[in-house]
């Protein structure tokens, strides 16, 4: 199971994490959600208000049309009016009397009562009726008019818009036109009632929409019958309502404005989207200012608290790091009463105590270590002087020369190997050598031993090619081989064998020196290993102890030294060394 831990995260980063997870992200999310809810509510309310506005305009128009339709229904069912229009008059005076008694009285009572009614006209093809007043004949000009042709193509009353010449020029008129045919007994002549509605009544009904947008009144063919847009020539020529007439960022609201079965007229409100979302923008600004205020206050508070913690902790950590370099200065402002202040006070007390103890203990210990180091160096120099005298090297060179002069080549070769060993041992300024160089020295030593013991000694060398150029401390392997030969093979009466193998694996050198000599008992082996680890005084096995100390000095814990032995079976030494020297060597 994976456990999430913040133990390795710096305090400043932890504070930032708390700020982001507990302050910034929650405030941002809360305000975003709050803004979305408010925006949706405001937008929905605005859309509902505009839809109600469209409905109100449609109802106002419908009221104007219903007044005219109601009057036409009354006239269609009026017996005296239909009878006066159907009668065959013998004289003009008879028609005038009937007109004044019935027609005029009936029609005249509606125009003054309804401000939206401009005028009421009756049309008939009764030849005995004199045209004039409220009653006009159906002439060829009337038959060619738009409203007459639309009425003949319809089986019911119609709403029609048409242009007529008025006192102040061409007027845009809206009329309810229907045939008077309710009473079946009066169908000898064609009778039509045409009720004109004041264009101001239509304009006022449409203008009652208080909004920043355009209003369109459309008939059943989707042709504009009225609009408040001044850039459209809709009065003099038919203009179909199409989306191309509107801007791209416009929202439309449509509501039917027809009356019963008198045409599917409708009202369309076209409102700019920015007008609809204006209230949403206001709420957005409010939410934004609120979020900035919340973030600013909380950020300042967190910065203030974080600075109080982080600054003092960083100062304390800096003084703690200086302790390892020998600086024991106390931390200023260590009298605060919170946890950091208490920790600072304890640190100051500790540093003062350490400073006192250094004079009493640490200096004396350093002096003791320095003496031990000088003693070890003196021992190394003594060993060097014991095994590397210059006069021996010069003497061997002279003997080798004389052997060559006497053609004693084997003796000269052995003396050459001995000289090579002494020459290498004299070069103490070079403490690191390659495996190849070390094995060359080992081979010289083994050939000397074979020359001494003849068939009593055999050896086998196995070295990986990849390990030949790796560096090791000088005379490491030579010491192990010398120890195997002197302490393992020489005391043995039978023939002996020394096996040396060097391999490279996973960044380490695996070196093994094995012999089949006399070996040693378990108690002796344990005593030898204990003397290596405890650093007892150098006595026997000087070369082995010196080798162990050098490995510890160069590699420390990175080197491994193992040794196993059985009596009459032999001894095996295994080294595991890094395949590169330390950086400071």
CB 42 within 8 A of CB 34: no
What residues contact 351, with CB distance under 8 A and at least 6 apart? 319, 323, 328, 329, 330
SS3 track for 209-242: CCCCEEEEEECCCCEEEEECCCCCCCCCCCCECC
Nearest to 511 by CA among 479, 485, 488, 557: 479
Q: What tens digit of pLDDT does each residue of 217-247 get? A: 888 888 888 888 888 888 878 888 888 888 8
- Helices vs strands, H then E, count in the chain: 18, 16
277, 276, 269: which is closest to 55 by C-alpha?
Answer: 269
The string of pLDDT tens digits covering residues 109-144 is 776 667 778 888 899 988 888 888 888 998 888 888
d(CA 565, CA 515): 10
Whether this prediction's pTM lies above 0.85 is answered by no
pLDDT beneath 50, residues of the chain: 378, 382, 385-388, 391, 538, 582-585
Q: How many residues does the chain have?
A: 585
| Neighbour-count burial of 576, counting CB atoms closer than 10 A to its CB (0-12 exposed, 13-18 middle, 19+ buried) | middle
Q: What is the reported pLDDT for 553?
A: 85
So what's the pLDDT on residue 262? 63
User: What does the pLDDT read at residue 166?
Assistant: 67
Report residue 383 as tokens.
């060993």
Long-range contacts from 115-118, C-beta under 8 angstroms, 24+ separation: 115/198, 115/201, 116/64, 116/67, 116/68, 116/197, 116/198, 116/201, 117/67, 117/68, 117/71, 117/195, 117/196, 117/197, 117/198, 118/173, 118/196, 118/197, 118/198
């Amino acid at each position: 199971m994976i456990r999430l831990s913040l133990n390795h995260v710096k305090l400043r980063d932890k504070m930032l994490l708390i700020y982001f997870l507990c302050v910034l992200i929650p405030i941002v999310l809360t305000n975003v959600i709050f803004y979305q809810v408010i925006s949706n509510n405001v937008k929905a309310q605005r859309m509902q208000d505009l839809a109600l506005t469209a409905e109100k305009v449609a109802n106002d128009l419908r009221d104007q049309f219903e007044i005219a339709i109601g009057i036409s229904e009354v006239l269609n069912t009026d017996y005296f009016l239909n009878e006066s229009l159907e009668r065959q008059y013998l004289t003009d005076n008879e028609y005038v009397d009937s007109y004044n008694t019935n027609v005029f009285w009936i029609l005249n009572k509606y125009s003054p009562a309804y401000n939206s009614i401009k005028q009421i006209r009756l049309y008939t093809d009764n030849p005995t009726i004199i045209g004039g007043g409220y009653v006009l004949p159906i002439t060829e000009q009337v038959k060619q008019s738009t409203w007459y042709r639309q009425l003949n193509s319809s089986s019911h009353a119609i709403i029609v818009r048409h242009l007529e010449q008025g006192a102040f020029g061409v007027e845009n008129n809206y009329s309810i036109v229907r045939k008077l045919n309710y009473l079946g007994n009066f169908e000898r002549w064609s009778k039509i009632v045409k009720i004109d509605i004041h264009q101001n009544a239509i304009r006022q009904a449409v203008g009652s929409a208080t909004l920043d947008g355009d209003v369109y009144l459309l008939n059943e063919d989707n042709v504009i019958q009225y609009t408040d847009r001044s850039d459209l020539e809709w009065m003099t020529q038919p203009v179909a309502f199409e989306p191309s007439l509107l801007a791209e960022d416009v929202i439309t609201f449509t509501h039917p404005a027809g009356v019963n079965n008198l045409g599917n007229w409708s009202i369309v409100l076209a409102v700019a989207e920015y007008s609809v979302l204006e209230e949403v923008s206001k709420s957005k600004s409010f939410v934004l200012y609120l979020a900035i205020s919340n973030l600013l206050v909380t950020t300042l508070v967190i910065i203030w608290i974080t600075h109080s913690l982080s600054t003092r902790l960083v100062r304390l950590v800096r003084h703690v790091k200086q302790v390892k370099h020998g600086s024991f200065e106390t931390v200023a402002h260590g009298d605060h009463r919170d946890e950091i202040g208490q920790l600072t006070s304890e640190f100051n007390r500790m540093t003062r105590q350490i400073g006192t103890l250094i004079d009493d203990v640490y200096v004396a210990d350093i002096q003791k270590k320095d003496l031990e180091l000088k003693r070890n160096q003196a021992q190394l120099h003594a060993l060097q002087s014991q095994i590397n005298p210059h006069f021996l090297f010069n003497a061997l060179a002279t003997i080798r020369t004389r052997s060559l002069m006497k053609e004693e080549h084997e003796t000269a070769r052995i003396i050459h190997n001995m000289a090579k060993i002494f020459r290498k041992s004299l070069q103490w300024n070079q403490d690191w050598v390659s495996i190849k160089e070390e094995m060359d020295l080992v081979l010289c030593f083994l050939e000397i031993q074979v020359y001494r013991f003849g068939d009593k000694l055999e050896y086998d060398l196995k070295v990986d090619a990849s390990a030949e150029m790796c560096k090791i401390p000088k005379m490491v392997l030579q010491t192990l081989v010398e120890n195997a030969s002197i302490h393992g093979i020489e005391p043995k009466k039978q023939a002996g064998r020394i096996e040396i193998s060097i391999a490279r694996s996973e960044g380490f050198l695996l070196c093994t020196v094995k012999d089949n000599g006399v070996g040693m008992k378990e108690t002796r082996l344990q005593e030898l290993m204990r003397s290596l680890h405890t650093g007892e005084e150098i006595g026997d096995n000087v070369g082995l102890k010196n080798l162990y100390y050098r490995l510890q000095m160069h590699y420390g814990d990175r080197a491994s030294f193992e040794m196993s032995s059985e009596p009459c079976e032999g001894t095996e030494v295994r080294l595991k060394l890094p395949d590169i020297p330390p950086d400071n060597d």
